[in-house]
Amino acid sequence: MSEAANSETMDQTVAEPLLECDGVYVTFPRYGAEEAVALRDVSLTISRGEVLGLVGESGSGKTMLARAIMRLIPQPGAITSGSVTFEGTNLGELDPEALRRMRGRDIAMIISNPRGELDPLQTVGQQIGNVLRYHLDLNSKDVRERALDLLKQVSIPDPQRRLDAYPHELSGGMAQRVVIAIALACSPRFIISDDATSGLDVTVQAQVLELIRKLVSERDTSMMFITRDIGITAHYCDRIAIIYAGEIMEVADRGVFFDDPLHPYTVLLLAAFAQNERLRRYWLGEDKVRENSGPSAVGCAFQNRCVRVQQRCLAEHPVLTEHRPGHFVRCHFPVERP
């Protein structure tokens, strides 16, 4: 393991946060009911050059966090408190036009299922070109050259021909590369990869992940890597955050995270991959099937699925605390190694 080397680079980069979320709440008003909270008190920092893995199950708020950073919360939801600061600028204070200029140029997004998200009526070249044209003010000739260059960088086979291809003519892997090319087009300083490889075959997935990692480290771009697969983060992320029911449950450097997880939910996620049958059964709580295993409103959000739940967890909402230097956890009774 190159853990020592890894933590060294961490020390260098931690000094200057590129992006900082501070106590972000996203809520959706509901008729005749209490508003739905999609994100609750989310605080995260991402340093320059750092790749942060954000792991959570479906509906945990991963994508909502990405959209909160981009300031594109779907109606009628809104960021009701907290702030997102990017390179010292509070994004909440920018006007819509400045935000628009920031999206795609400074903060770019790599999406999943790109074949459904690209415009079906425009060629790959036009869609890459749009971003170049409206962010960098390039003329048509330069746009085409740059687009071709980008396609080469994401190692698409036969880039010249793909430039004039339509999205429906691309394979899933190729479409994914096109989306990466669009994300890289303006050399952004921060990239959010939202479950970017979930729709791909395992082999293609590995290729694409490797490509993202290579391109990101070459450019010293920071990244938030959203995924449902905790295994992927072990290979591609410097630091890992766990999100559950809109709350950050644990944040730690990669080495510590996998060696010494503190939150029962993290252990559950890791145990799901474990070979040891007893370990897996204990943490997944197979013998404790509960009626209501969804997130809870009072007390700890994870209480209904936690095998270590105690009286305090039902009544008191835990806060995210720094258990060890650089290792944050939101739990009254963190898992300690014997």
Partner 1 sequence: MQILSYIGRRLIFVAPQLVGILLVTFLLLKLIPGDPAVMMLGPFATDEGLARLRTELGLDHSIIKQFGIYLWRVIHWDLGTSWQTTMPVTSDLAQRFPATLELVTLSLLLALSIGMPLGVIGARSKNGIIRKLVEYYGLAAGSLPDFWFGLVLIFIFYTILGVVPAPLGRIDFTIIPPPEVTGSLLIDSVISGNWLALRNALGHLILPVLTLGLINAAPILKMTMSTMDRMLEADFSRYAEMCGLPDRVVARKALRNSLPSVITIVSVLYGFLIGGAVLVEIVFSWGGAGQYAVQGVLNADLNPVLGFVLYSAILSLVIYLIVDLIYFAIDPRTR
Using CB under 8 A as the criterion, which residues of the chain lie in contact with partner 1 when the complex forms? 70, 72, 100-105, 108-109, 111, 113, 116-122, 130-131, 134-135, 166, 168, 182
Token couple for 202: 């395992």
Pick 23 or 116: Cβ nearer partner 1: 116
Pick 102 or 241: Cβ nearer partner 1: 102
Backbone angles phi, psi at 334, to 5 degrees: -60, 150
What's the min distance (Å) between Cβ of 209 and partner 1?
21
Residue 307 makes CB contacts below 8 A (sequence gap 6+) with 264, 268, 282, 283, 285, 288
What's the min distance (Å) between Cβ of 166 and partner 1?
4
Pick 208 or 329: Cβ nearer partner 1: 208
What's the min distance (Å) between Cβ of 198 and partner 1?
15
| Integer Cα distance of 287 and 178 in angstroms | 46
What's the min distance (Å) between Cβ of 49 and partner 1?
23
Residue 59 makes CB contacts below 8 A (sequence gap 6+) with none
The closest of 199, 215, 224, 217 to 154, measured between CA atoms, is 215
What's the min distance (Å) between Cβ of 103 and partner 1?
3
| Integer Cα distance of 192 and 174 in angstroms | 19
What's the min distance (Å) between Cβ of 202 and partner 1?
25
Sign of the Cα pseudo-torsion (31, 34, 37, 38, in order): negative
Token couple for 7: 């933590």
| Integer Cα distance of 271 and 88 in angstroms | 39
| Integer Cα distance of 321 and 326 in angstroms | 10
Pick 47 or 63: Cβ nearer partner 1: 63
Token couple for 192: 């959010």
Token couple for 189: 């300083």
Tokens 């983060």, residue? 233
Pick 110 or 309: Cβ nearer partner 1: 110
| Integer Cα distance of 58 and 185 in angstroms | 29
What's the min distance (Å) between Cβ of 21 and partner 1?
18
Residue 96 makes CB contacts below 8 A (sequence gap 6+) with none
What's the min distance (Å) between Cβ of 184 and partner 1?
12
Pick 103 or 308: Cβ nearer partner 1: 103
Pick 212 or 331: Cβ nearer partner 1: 212
| Integer Cα distance of 30 and 24 in angstroms | 19
Measure Cα distances from 249 to 44, 54, 285, 321 in Å.
Answer: 11, 11, 19, 10
Pick 119 or 201: Cβ nearer partner 1: 119
What's the min distance (Å) between Cβ of 31 and partner 1?
17
Pick 103 or 317: Cβ nearer partner 1: 103
